[in-house]
Amino acid sequence: MKIGLLGKGTIGTGVFNLASKADWLEVCKVLDKKIEASCMVTDINAVVNDHGIETVVETMGGLHPACEYAMKALENGKHFVTANKLLVSTYGQELLAAARRHGKAFLYSAACGGGIPFLRNLMAAREVDSISSLGGILNGTTNYILSSMRSADLSYEEALLNAQKLGYAERDPSSDVDGLDTMRKLMLSCAVGFNSFVKPEGIPVRGISQIDTQDIEYSKAHCCSIRLCAYSEMKDGRLAAYVQPELCRLNSHENATVSNLNYAWYKGQSCGTMGFGGQGAGMYPTATNILADLKAIESGILYMTSDKCSPLQIDNSRQMRSYYVRLESGFDFPEDFIEESCVSGNQRFITTRAMPVAVMFELLGNEKKAFFAGKEVQSC
């Protein structure tokens, strides 16, 4: 297969290097800002107008011009493969429509879970089974922060700094620590697993930046650890989805997922729960998933969603969870939901009864001085 590569950063270099060792793959052109080799170009038209190139692989990241380049590639009759979850979660519907119009592929296995073959297996399962729920730890940066806060007794700030030094977290870590990266991967999982395009506005998202060492202590005292988890469930035609910190039992897969690893799972009515762990980012793991998409195209797989994939509103009204909550002692938390409560200094620690997820997000979803975590992780 002859490919054009858009971007030669970390992932692009991984694809380039793996392709140079694969006898079935040839990188004909590489689009980048500067020309370092004869195959490199700085004009997208040199890639999309090259009749020899069958597939365009996008590893440049960002929304623009990635979206315009993707459209150009599809309109010029190229298959399109990407690792860009921001692009797919924002313009996936439009890109899929363009790909179907031109009879070309639109695949994005590496955009959720980096090197983990999660979306590909989820797609295969959806074709023979009915997926009832899915989720997991979809962000390595936050997992590194949470697991090292616990294992090395670090503050949030110290763990974040280490994550930045190790290259896991960006200089501006907000999309990771605020849960947006996890949410985008959950959107892709909903499209693949439930054939449903969901809008980001509909998904309640709580990240980890409010966490404190007191929360880690609470989790230890209750034989749990804290992880940032995505969750989605399809029941009676209603699709629930949310992202929040969870207290995970010590014998759970989530607790065993340490450092910057990811763990994604789905549950099918016939197959039961299937879990996938591994590197959710990085040069070669992510590039491997891109190469697997290229192989899939060769075997005739062009799309990750069926032609029945359609928009669906998120409805969390039936989601009931109990929570651990830490907030300032003066905060007026509704008594009806409280099972246990104690005050220490200016902090109040609450265990709630099962309560609607939507209500928890209404109460504390934007509260900067509170931390909350779901009490029973859902995958087990």
Query: What residues numbered 166-205 form the site for ligand HSE, per CB under 6 A?
Result: 168, 176, 181
Among 140, 207, 277, 374, contact with ligand HSE (rule: CB under 6 A): 140
Q: Are 90 and 63 spatial neighbours (Cβ–Cβ below 8 Å)?
A: yes
Of 284 and 333, nearer to ligand HSE (C-beta) is 284
* Least distance CB 143 / ligand HSE (angstroms): 8
Dig out the tokens for 126 from the structure: 């959806």
* Least distance CB 282 / ligand HSE (angstroms): 8
349 pairs with which residues across the strands?
326, 342
Stretch that binds ligand HSE, among 31-39, 45-53, 136-144, 148-156 (CB under 6 A): 136-144
Task: Give the CA count within 13 Å in the CB-facing half-sphere of 189.
Answer: 34
103/36 Cα distance (integer angstroms): 34
Q: Is residue 279 a contact point for ligand HSE (CB under 6 A)?
A: no
Among 7, 114, 136, 193, contact with ligand HSE (rule: CB under 6 A): 114
- In the set 85, 185, 308, 369, the catalytic residue is 185
Which residue, 141, 377, 89, 122, is CA-closest to 262?
141
Of 53 and 281, nearer to ligand HSE (C-beta) is 281
115/15 Cα distance (integer angstroms): 12
Among 139, 210, 244, 378, contact with ligand HSE (rule: CB under 6 A): 139
Got the DSSP string for 149-194? HHHTT--HHHHHHHHHHTTSS-SS-HHHHTSHHHHHHHHHHHHHHH
The CA-atom distances, in angstroms, between 148 and each of 173, 206, 257, 377 are: 17, 20, 12, 20
Q: Is residue 118 a contact point for ligand HSE (CB under 6 A)?
A: no
Instruction: Give the dihedral sign, CA 95/67/44/57.
Output: negative
Of 268 and 285, nearer to ligand HSE (C-beta) is 285
231 Cα distance to chain centroid = 11
Of 16 and 263, nearer to ligand HSE (C-beta) is 263
* Least distance CB 320 / ligand HSE (angstroms): 29
Stretch that binds ligand HSE, among 32-40, 138-146, 299-307, 332-340 (CB under 6 A): 138-146
**Is position 185 annotated as part of the catalytic site?**
yes
Among 4, 135, 179, 280, contact with ligand HSE (rule: CB under 6 A): 280
Which residue, 10, 289, 287, 280, is CA-closest to 142?
280
Q: Which residues of 10-37 are buried (b: 16+ CB within 10 A; e: fewer)?
A: bbbbbbbebbeeeeebebebbbbeeeee
Q: Which residue has the tokens 């029973």?
A: 376
Of 85 and 326, nearer to ligand HSE (C-beta) is 85
Length of the chain: 380
Q: Is 63 helix (H, G, I), strand (E, B) or coil?
A: coil
Stretch that binds ligand HSE, among 98-106, 139-147, 267-275, 319-327 (CB under 6 A): 139-147
Stretch that binds ligand HSE, among 38-46, 100-108, 137-145, 147-155 (CB under 6 A): 137-145
Query: What residues numbered 235-254 form the site for ligand HSE, per CB under 6 A?
Result: none
Q: How many CB atoms lie within 10 A of CB 91?
A: 18
Size of the site for ligand HSE (CB under 6 A): 9
Stretch that binds ligand HSE, among 16-24, 133-141, 225-233, 316-324 (CB under 6 A): 133-141
Of 179 and 193, nearer to ligand HSE (C-beta) is 179
Q: Is residue 281 a contact point for ligand HSE (CB under 6 A)?
A: yes
Of 281 and 355, nearer to ligand HSE (C-beta) is 281
Eight-state DSSP code of residue 78: -
* Least distance CB 376 / ligand HSE (angstroms): 24
312/314 Cα distance (integer angstroms): 7
What residues are labeled active site? 185
What is the contact surface with ligand HSE in residues (CB under 6 A)? 114, 139-141, 168, 176, 181, 280-281
